[in-house]
Amino acid sequence: MSTWLEAFAGVEALEGAELDAALVAQMQAGAVGELGRVNFYTPTFKAYATSEISGCGKSAWPAISITGGDCKLQCDHCKAKILEPMIPARTADELWRVANEQIAAGAQGMLLTGGSNHRNEVEYGPYYSTIRRIKDSFPEFRIALHTALVSADIARRMEDAGIDAAMMDVIGAQETITQVYHLKRTVEDFERSLEHLVATQMHVVPHIVLGLHYGRFLGEDSALEIVARHLPAALVLVVVMPFYAPQKRPYVTPDSHEVGRFFLRARQALPGLPLLLGCARPPGRAKQEIDSYAVMAGLNGLAHPADGVVELAARLMRDVRVTPACCSIAVGDEVMALNADQAGLEVDVGRIIEMERRRAAGRFAGIPVVTAGGASGCH
């Protein structure tokens, strides 16, 4: 039996990336039986199989902000820039109008968020009745909400409004809360919020941002322990991308091997929980290494994998499902927790691989790929 490191070395597209041999050996030794299915959300294959996969419109999971681009916190890694491209809906009437427009355009759901106040709370109060109206009028339309910090009462109000999925960042270091978020709250406040959310019937999908403390690992393991104590529907891991960090507080790029070690610890700590790698992570060689570790550690889903990582998963005998998805759908499916066989859009991976063989003869020769059913595209 070849080693996983040899399988990695055989993927031409991953040339130039380097993995920690000891860590890869540890991942291989710790794998019990088959690693299971891995779901890739990727636009990559559309170039190879345009006749099988229809185009994917960005309206499928639009992101809507109730504060537009405004946020009181101005966290060092974000500076509210993430809100700027979102669709603004600053009043309840405007949210109703925007939701109807997006549904008419084919949206399957929406990501609803907004800037925080100085206590890391998004003030959704005036919007709950409108959210309930949207859900009553369009029962199949999914709503994923970035909750920020919540009380038990607010969590119940979100549930009563019909929210399908609740997302929040879990931060495990007080220094990060104070210095990066500029926030006078505690680690215990974040844990209590997660506890209140999982007490509801909503799909709760917390996120842990790796390297959040200026590119260094600080409270990630504490955050993982918090998640393990409360067992949400799934956990999304992302790696900090501080494009907007101030010059006086610069970030370093998190070490990809340290990220890989955290993936393994997370998989070991949460053996039965869907673990997902979100869209955000550094580009280039770091992404190749991070994504390779994610496949080897047994993560269940990856959004927008680096070129060659799907082939690596197949070489490691993982059941591969590929979803041709723009980023909005990838995020939408993440927060719906890869719900059993309903996750993602099915495509015929075998047909795509065959077309890739013609483009790069022999690259996939002899690699068994489990298809997810008939080809389909975005609707």
pLDDT tens for each residue of 54-113 = 445 556 788 898 988 667 676 766 655 677 788 899 999 999 999 999 999 988 889 899
Residues of the chain with pLDDT under 50: 44-55, 340-347, 352, 356, 362-364, 370-379
CATH number at residue 36: 3.20.20.70
Tell whether 379 is covered by a domain: no
CA atoms within 13 A on the CB side of 23: 21
Q: Is 284 inside a domain boundary?
A: yes
pTM as predicted: 0.86
Of the candidates 251, 165, 239, the one whose C-alpha atom is nearest the C-alpha of residue 205 is 165
d(CA 221, CA 299): 17
3-state secondary structure of 41: strand
Compute the C-alpha angle 15/322/359, nearest 5°: 50
Distance between CA 134 and CA 131 in Å, rounded?
Answer: 5
Q: Considering the domain boundaries, does residue 266 fall inside one?
A: yes
| Structural domains in the chain (count) | 1
Gap between the Cα atoms of 274 and 148, Å rounded: 21
Residues of the chain with pLDDT > 90: what percent?
54
Distances (CA, A) of 290 to 105, 130, 211, 304: 36, 40, 13, 12
Residue 364 maps to a domain: no
State residue 108's pLDDT score. 86
Asked if residues 303 and 329 have their Cβ atoms less than 8 Å apart, the reply is no
192: left (phi over 0), alpha (psi -120 to 50) or beta: alpha
251: its two tokens: 């970030």
Q: Domain of residue 14: give its range.
A: 4-359
